[in-house]
Amino acid sequence: MPAFSPDDPLNIRLELESVPTGSPASEVARQLVSLLTAGDLAPGSRLPAERVLAERLGVGRSAVREALAALEILGIVQIRPGSGTYLQGGTSDLLPTTLSWGLMLASDRTRELLEIRSSLERTAAILAAQRATPEQLDELQTYLDRQHDALDDPDAFIDADVRFHVLLARSADNAVLADLLQSLRSMLSVWVERRVQTRQATEAAYDEHRAIHEALRTGDVAAVQQAMDAHMATASARLENAGPVAGP
């Protein structure tokens, strides 16, 4: 097991296997989770640089970056710009998360994940129709405006799209529900290409979000549910048909 230096100042010794060609970033995440929960690394340990991990795994740096970003959302690592990526918590703290990863990262669970996500998004929207504050509705409008301004910029559109859904979940005033939705989004983003690439796709998504927001403004629970159901149907179809993300 080779030690990595000087990129690895703690001389972390990694035993990683090359990722098969075309394998999604979830395989990178799986190996990293196994490494980080083996008990050999203390909380706060710095991981080798993305370049080193990519070389060792035989994948593009974008696959490593995507896997690390998902692990950060899940609280397994912390990415400090200009410094590196660090392990958070001990093995016992990470165990519940790794159990979830074992279930969620299986590529044949796509449909099941999307069904759960759709159900939770619907529940969040219904609760938000009853509990959202005027300030939260105004903030949702801000993200809608950002989507409209980014119809020809897929990356910016996706950012506003995600922020819209995160705030919508928070507006339901149910922390457990919001956390579950965030975890599901993270799991899906590890291996499913979520990007809308065409003007037609961004316009469709924008119109769906606008319908949800208009229903929320009126507090019409039935209309909110109908609008979210319509959005989840098209969004889930796009996700399921996109297939796994492969490294470059």
Number of other residues whose CB lies within 10 A of the CB of residue 185: 19
> How far is Cα 170 from Cα 190, in angstroms, rounded to an integer?
22
C-alpha closest to that of 121 among 207, 237, 229, 20: 229
The string of pLDDT tens digits covering residues 148-182 is: 999 999 888 988 998 999 999 999 999 989 888 88
| 28, 77 Cβ separation under 8 angstroms | no
| Cβ partners under 8 Å of residue 56, min gap 6 | 4, 14, 16, 48
The string of pLDDT tens digits covering residues 28-69 is: 877 777 777 666 677 788 888 989 988 888 888 888 888 888
Most distant pair of Cα atoms in the chain: their distance: 61
Q: Which residues of 131-165 are buried (b: 16+ CB within 10 A; e: fewer)?
A: ebeeebbebbeebbebbeebbeebeebbebbebbb
pLDDT of residue 182: 80
* Cross-strand bridge partners of residue 13: 3
**Candidate from 3-17, 27-41, 231-245 with smallest mean pLDDT:** 3-17
In the chain, which residue ranges form alpha helices assigned H by DSSP? 25-36, 50-57, 61-73, 91-104, 110-131, 134-149, 154-171, 175-191, 199-218, 221-242
Proportion of the chain above pLDDT 70, given as a percent: 71
| 71, 187 Cβ separation under 8 angstroms | no
Alpha carbon of 127 to those of 119, 175, 206, 222, 235: distances in Å? 13, 12, 22, 11, 21
| Cβ partners under 8 Å of residue 206, min gap 6 | 144, 147, 148, 151, 157
Q: In this model, does residue 119 exceed pLDDT 80?
A: yes
Read off the pLDDT of each residue in 97-119 and give the average, rounded to a whole number: 67
Of residues 138 and 8, which shows the higher confidence score? 138
C-alpha closest to that of 50 among 72, 68, 26: 68
Chain-wide mean pLDDT for the chain?
Answer: 78
Q: In this model, does residue 205 exceed pLDDT 90?
A: yes
| Cβ partners under 8 Å of residue 95, min gap 6 | 37
Distance of CA 150 to the CA centre of its chain: 20
pLDDT of residue 24: 52
Please indicate, yes or no, whether the overall pTM of this predicted structure exceeds 0.85.
no
